[in-house]
Structure 1
Amino acid sequence: MGSLLIAGSIATDHLMSFGGRFADSLVVEQLDKLSVSFLVDDLEIRRGGVAPNMCFGLGQLGLHPVLVGAAGEDFADYRSWLERHGVDCSHVHISESKHTARFVCTTDETMAQFASFYPGAMSEARLIELAPIVAAVGEPDYVLIGADDPDGMRRHTQECRQRGYRFIADPSQQLAFGEGELIRELIDGAALLFSNEYESHMIEQKTGWSAEEVLERVGTQVTTLGADGVRITRKGEDPIVLPAAKNVAAVEPTGVGDAFRAGFLAATAWELSLERAAQVGCVLAAYVVETVGTQEYSFTPAQFLARLEDSYGATAAADVAPHLS
């Protein structure tokens, strides 16, 4: 088994709750002089960023992914958390001048929000070269290129093509901001393309490629369908459509897509079928949607296998069991 390099944003979320209504403190005629403060009831600091979320999931399944991204000097606590959960953080670029990316959001009782996103050190992802990392950890099975600084995503993709690393395109949040030229460059030649259904239509709209033309440029397209499961398409083959895991008590959806990707990649590293990969991804995603926070779940191998068997049958569990000992 080769290494798995997971490149993408590294961030923390600072989430606060205000017990009243923002609207009661806003004077419409004076919005050009807006200056208000709110006494909040609580503060939750959650670990996030697409790359650490995926790495955490891979670590929970017993793999040792390599985190590729840029963070600030304030990354120390987050680093130790990830390393305790099986993630190789030794190649994270640490900025000398910027803090780790941060999302700060206050939500009132009506679900109205004031939010800010500070990209910070994320903008230095463009300084990261993959070759020295590969020299240290070994030839990668895959390099996943997730949402990050756009220039960093472009550089990683170009380097993968030049050096012959198999790469996975997972542009997700950057699709809303990226122009067609960038998105075409990030996708063309990918071994795998991950997106949700809405994003798959956005890819077609922004690139100007039809669904068939997208499939001609990527090896496999994996499209998550929310509660309806997942669809896997390959050129010239019938689509594989699988249901989501059973008996899911949904609480909070943030990070579910990252967990699905982690499960899918783990099963791919175990050399299981695409169908099994999607099933492992769906079960891991179920754990995330049932907890608040993207890295707050845990399970034993026996619990995971029982859940896999409940959703997809005894053969699925038997295929995965040797890899979860």
Structure 2
Amino acid sequence: MHFPGKFHELLMVEQLDRISLSFLVDDLVIHKGGSGANIAFGLGVLGRRPLLVGAVGGDFAEYRLWLEEHGVDCSQIHVAPDVHTARFICTTDDAMRQIGSFYTGAMARSAEIDLAGLPALGVDLTLIGASDPAAMVQYTKQCLELGMPFAADVSQQVTRMDGADIRTLVEGARYLMTNDYEWELLLQKTGWTPAQVAEKVDIRITTLGENGVQIVGRDGELKVGVVPETGKVDPTGVGDAFRAGFLAGTEQGLSLERSAQLGSLIAVQVLESHGGQEWVWDRAAGLERLGDAYGPDAAAEIAAILPA
């Protein structure tokens, strides 16, 4: 939903303990979403064949068809027919600030999923994204036990989880993926320093909004700027889009820098669209934007792995 105003103008600090507000919104749109589905959708559009693992409700049939049409393998989806699929209900104001509520629904059944069969399916990397916190911890332990490389993407669940669980999610990851706010909160809750985190993960990727992305690895640090936007429409799913582009690049052998540049291109396309899966892939336009932002050499290298 969209609120034609600014939230902060309606909030009174001295009355926050008695807050009771409703917002008259001027738009209501229902979008397909979910962090895992958004990332898988992006990977599918970019020509990969991602395997989506998660728990959904009995209302998933139409959504399954959409994802499969866009290259996502839904064969490992766990269906709980007696509940609804998880939903995020969000209102965005004119300053692009958001107030939202999250209904867990079938996501609460995520711990019923067993990852033991993934190695036999040829999975190269498992991204453990925002889900039921207990399930996220369970998946991390399974990846370590099975010797499967994984990306730790604690996302908004960093606000819910305690330091011990966050430490379990992070240690041993090939990639640690957060935004700058989540990164600072992760440090606060775990008690780790950035140097200690660097000892526990191979590569840390921290998105910085309009300031680009910071990548810290064992061989050093680099920063990649954004692809300039044509306008801000909806920030929902921008981080998921970056992850899709980044992973599509690294999976096909691009360098970390080039992968981050591709991630930044997909992220800005989502920023310029309503919802996390309404963006449309246009190879020629995408390469032009990459060239303008990062130069012709970057565009040429990234072009080699992009679908028509």
TM score, norm. by length of structure 2: 0.88
Aligned to 2:208: 225
1:1-325 aligned at under 5 Å gives the runs 15=1, 42-105=27-90, 116-135=101-120, 137-138=121-122, 140-235=123-218, 237-325=219-307
- Corresponding residue SS for 2:102: strand
Q: Distance in 2 between matches of 1:113 and 1:314?
A: 37
- 1:49 positional shift: 0.8
- 1:217 positional shift: 0.1
Q: Distance in 2 between matches of 1:252 and 1:217?
A: 34
Q: Distance in 1 between matches of 2:94 and 2:222?
A: 42
- Corresponding residue SS for 1:74: coil
Shift of the 42–230 alpha-carbon distance from structure 1 to 2, 3 Å rule, reads closer
AA aligned opposite 1:49:
G
Q: Distance in 1 between matches of 2:132 and 2:216?
A: 28
Query: Structure 2: which 5+ runs fail to align?
Result: none
CA RMSD of superposed structures (Å): 2.7
Given that residues 204 and 210 in structure 1 are in contact (C-alpha distance below 8 angstroms), is that contact kept between their aligned partners in structure 2? yes
Q: Deviations over 1:203-242 (max 9, x none)?
A: 111111100000000000001111011111113x331011
Shift of the 295–204 alpha-carbon distance from structure 1 to 2, 3 Å rule, reads same
Q: Distance in 2 between matches of 1:110 and 1:271?
A: 38
Q: Which structure's CA Rg is the greater one?
A: 1
Q: Distance in 1 between matches of 2:22 and 2:187?
A: 43
Given that residues 51 and 72 in structure 2 are in contact (C-alpha distance below 8 angstroms), is that contact kept between their aligned partners in structure 1? yes
Higher strand share: 1
Aligned to 1:8: none
Shift of the 73–278 alpha-carbon distance from structure 1 to 2, 3 Å rule, reads same
- 1:271 positional shift: 0.7
Shift of the 112–152 alpha-carbon distance from structure 1 to 2, 3 Å rule, reads closer
- 1:43 positional shift: 3.1
Shift of the 305–164 alpha-carbon distance from structure 1 to 2, 3 Å rule, reads same
Q: Distance in 2 between matches of 1:224 and 1:67?
A: 23
Q: Deviations over 1:127-167 (max 9, x none)?
A: 111122443x32x2210000100111011100000000000
Tell me whether 106-115 or 119-128 shows the greater mean CA deviation: 106-115
Q: Distance in 1 between matches of 2:91 and 2:270?
A: 22
Given that residues 41 and 72 in structure 2 are in contact (C-alpha distance below 8 angstroms), is that contact kept between their aligned partners in structure 1? yes
- 1:296 positional shift: 0.5
Q: Deviations over 1:38-66 (max 9, x none)?
A: 99765311111100010111112111101
AA aligned opposite 1:43:
L
Q: Deviations over 1:258-302 (max 9, x none)?
A: 100110000001111011011000111010001111110002222
Query: Structure 1: which 5+ runs fail to align?
Result: 1-14
Q: Distance in 1 between matches of 2:100 and 2:35?
A: 19
- Corresponding residue SS for 2:43: helix
